[in-house]
Amino acid sequence: MEARIVIVAGWIEFKVADFSLTLPVQPDRRFQPGLSGLDKWPGWVSSRVMLKFPISLITVTLVCFIRSTAPGAEPSAAGAGHPGGDMAEAAVRLLASLDATQRVKAALTFDGDERENWHFVPMERAGLPLAQMQPYQQALAMGLLSSALGNRGFLKATAIMSLEQVLAEIEKNPDGRNPAKYFFAVFGTPGDHGAWGWRVEGHHLSVNLTLKDGQVLAVSPMFLGANPAEVREGPRQGLRVLASEEELGRELVRAVSAAGHPEVVFTDRVPAEILTGGDRQVRQLDPVGVLFGELAPAQQTALRLLVAEYAERLRPELAGREIERITAAGWKNVRFGWAGGTEVRQAYYYRVQGPTFLIEAANSQNNANHIHTVWRDPAGDFGRDRLGEHYHGHEQPHD
């Protein structure tokens, strides 16, 4: 029985005599070994694995926590979380901690225009910024953000916030570039009845959740960007917050092109921005590149991994649901297309789209060191497809 294993956290410990050094690890890759007995594991579990490699006087210990799912297995009811309930609890705790002035900024109406007024550029926004919170309120605010994201998604989001400090030093602009200028807004009344939502947003980060009767209806738009995409100087040199999104895409386009599908690169011209920008409503873009069914099995797996990298920004229950929706609509209908160069540090753009989702990634600004990525649901952003509300278009969707 084959099962998927994902290393989600861990550390490596190096020992030489009495000296010890411990380094955290957060691997990006997945592998599918044939391991006896994994078919008996009850869905999603955690396990601790320790491997020791004695080399003379040096001992290297790898400790990792793994998540394993047998094919088709789902989280058991006993171990599964309740995303809607967790989000409501986190939102209630945050709002209860605020004074009257803060609540006016953080608590907004659900049916108002602001709920869909999303963007990813640096600007003042509706909501309550971290800068205007007490430390204990900031902790509760981050708890709300973490209620929607998986471990890796939360690490990426907080690292993106921290890049504002890097930009402040590069641009010598501490007022304009501030890691505390991320705004938290709750739309409507959080709970198990009725519709409500919430947003965490600032430069290069926009997380939008829509719920109704305790259930999560929509997880998009979800935007993550990084500037610089690679920190190339200073104490944080080498940091690449969205490295996996870049490398998985580049590896895939190279493999597909080498396998006799040059049409996967649909143009050499790289757009300056993701094509959907900050539009409130989008429709599917032109069908460029290659279809999933035209790919070899290994390339299909690579494309699944690329999509999973985006979906797994969310907590496992929500990520799994998005993948299930893609599967139900048919992977055969998923397309992958690339624009620009395929070498490291060359400007590029790619998109992956199917009936239920649209992924865009662009890295062309600042000498191809400024990446934007987004996950959209053309029919269901902000829960449009399930709320049955009347939406007024503020912008024309892209073709």
Could you read off the pLDDT tens digit of each residue along the chain, which spans 399 residues? Answer: 333 333 334 444 444 444 444 444 433 333 333 323 323 323 333 333 333 333 333 333 443 433 333 333 333 333 346 999 999 999 999 999 999 999 999 999 999 999 999 999 999 999 999 999 999 999 999 999 999 999 999 999 999 999 999 999 999 998 889 999 999 999 999 999 999 999 999 999 999 999 999 999 999 999 999 999 999 999 999 999 999 999 999 999 999 999 999 999 999 999 999 999 999 999 899 999 999 999 999 999 999 999 999 999 999 999 999 999 999 999 999 999 999 999 999 999 999 999 999 999 999 999 999 999 999 999 999 999 889 753 444 344 433
Task: Characterize the bridge pairing of strands 58-69 and 30-31.
Answer: unpaired
Which of 122, 125, 223 minimizes the C-alpha distance to 179? 122
The span from the CA of 125 to the CA of 178, in Å, is 14
pTM: 0.79
| Whole-number pLDDT of residue 61 | 40
* For residue 83, cis peptide bond before it (omega within 30 degrees of 0): no
The answer to whether the CB of 281 falls within 8 A of the CB of 115 is no
Tokens coding 295: 């790919």
| Whole-number pLDDT of residue 175 | 84
Amino acid identity for residue 349 in this structure: Y
| Whole-number pLDDT of residue 176 | 86
Question: Would you say the C-alpha torsion 53, 56, 57, 58 has a positive or negative sign?
Answer: negative
| Whole-number pLDDT of residue 5 | 38
| Whole-number pLDDT of residue 193 | 95
| Whole-number pLDDT of residue 51 | 33
| Whole-number pLDDT of residue 388 | 73
Which of 190, 191, 187 minimizes the C-alpha distance to 208? 187
A 10 A CB-CB count for 312 gives: 23
